[in-house]
Amino acid sequence: MNYKITSVLALISLVAAIIFTGCSRSVASKQDSQSAVATPGKTDKNKEKLNREASFVPMTSDENAGANARDALIAAGKAKAAPALKEGQWLNSEPTTLENLRGRVVLVDFWTFGCYNCRNTLPTLKRLDADYRDKGLTIVGVHTPESEYEKNFDKIQDAVKRLGIKYPVVTDGGGDTWREYNIEAWPTVVILDKQGRIRYTHIGEGAYDVQEKVIQTLLAEKEAKTASASNGEYKGEKIVKTEDEWRKQLNKEQFYVMREKGTERAFTGEYNDNHEHGDYYCAACHLKLFSSDAKFESGTGWPSFYQPIAAINVTEETDNSFGSSRTEVLCSRCRSHLGHVFDDGPKPTGLRYCMNSVALKFEKQN
């Protein structure tokens, strides 16, 4: 009897041990399975990102789209320069300008925190910022309020933090930037190329895949070369004429500016607001001086460029007239006065070649 009881007890112990071992393995397997499930979420997102990048095919510009077209990639030659961002309070960034962002693709998002549709676009904007900021994209949120309530800066600040917006945001309380861009509704996305030209506009939600393709295409665009012998670099020849000869060749205003070192009145020049694609030549000797690719909106009232076609094409000399020291810019071939250069320009050079329209002749490129 004692033998049987002992055998039964041993058998029960053995079965219990087997069950316990099985349960332990099951729990461990379940835990391993759960920890394995947590990783694929991130992995899947990374795979999606890699797949988007690997499958990228540059968009083709719509040659029929005008400068004010919507939902089309506007050709560089037809695109117009983006207006400057007006003054406002900045969040997530030091105050900046579009000129300082030259060389980067810029997405300008017109929004307001009280707009339901605007909030619906934020997941895509935040993802684009995370995926492309390091590759050359800057997103700027222009907060243009719809109501008095949305003008309160503290509320804007709280909304930006609460909504998890990490890209720069600038307030547009008076709607000045909104009007400069001719915006009609919230939200509106405007995408600029590396030269600060408006290449794409979309109103409302949606078209997220198209917007990403536009960004990828503009990031992949190579900046136009502006300093090679093949496109007009000065070879060293000189043109010398008497003042009487120049007076016969040039009109009265040109002679005053180019030979007597005068200055045309601000905002009166033919090329101050010219946004067409092409090159600017010396009005006296036809030496190529500047490309529209280097032209930017300086707000000064004179056509401004951040660099010449080639440094050798212009000559810079100290100008001490009018009780101050400035740097005069002359045509290297005929020594006609063109304007002055200042060190308050945009990237990549930080220079502003402030030129007189009458000293230039523009030739459009197709």
The residues carrying an active-site annotation are 354
Q: Which residue, among 278, 297, 304, 295, has the nearest Cα to 361 in the 3D structure?
A: 278
Supply the DSSP string of 271-339, one letter for each residue. TTT---SEEEEETTT--EEEEGGGEE--SSSS-EESS-S-GGGEEEEEE-GGGS-EEEEEETTT--EEE
Q: What is the Cα–Cα distance from 268 to 284, expressed in whole angstroms? A: 20
- Distance (Å, whole) CA 94 – CA 109: 18
Q: Report long-range pairs for 287-291 (Cβ below 8 Å, ≥24 apart).
A: 287/232, 287/234, 287/313, 287/331, 287/332, 287/333, 287/334, 288/231, 288/232, 288/313, 289/313, 289/314, 289/331, 289/338, 289/360, 290/353, 290/355, 290/360, 291/224, 291/226
> In angstroms, what is the C-alpha Rg of the chain?
31
Gap between the Cα atoms of 272 and 305, Å rounded: 11
Q: Are the CB atoms for 73 and 59 separated by under 8 Å?
A: yes
Neighbour-count burial for 225-263, b at 16+ CB within 10 Å, e otherwise: ebbeeeebbbeeeeeeeeeeebeeebeeebbbbbbeeee
Cα angle 324-325-329, degrees, rounded to a multiple of 5:
125
Q: How far apart are CA 291 and CA 273, in angstroms?
A: 15
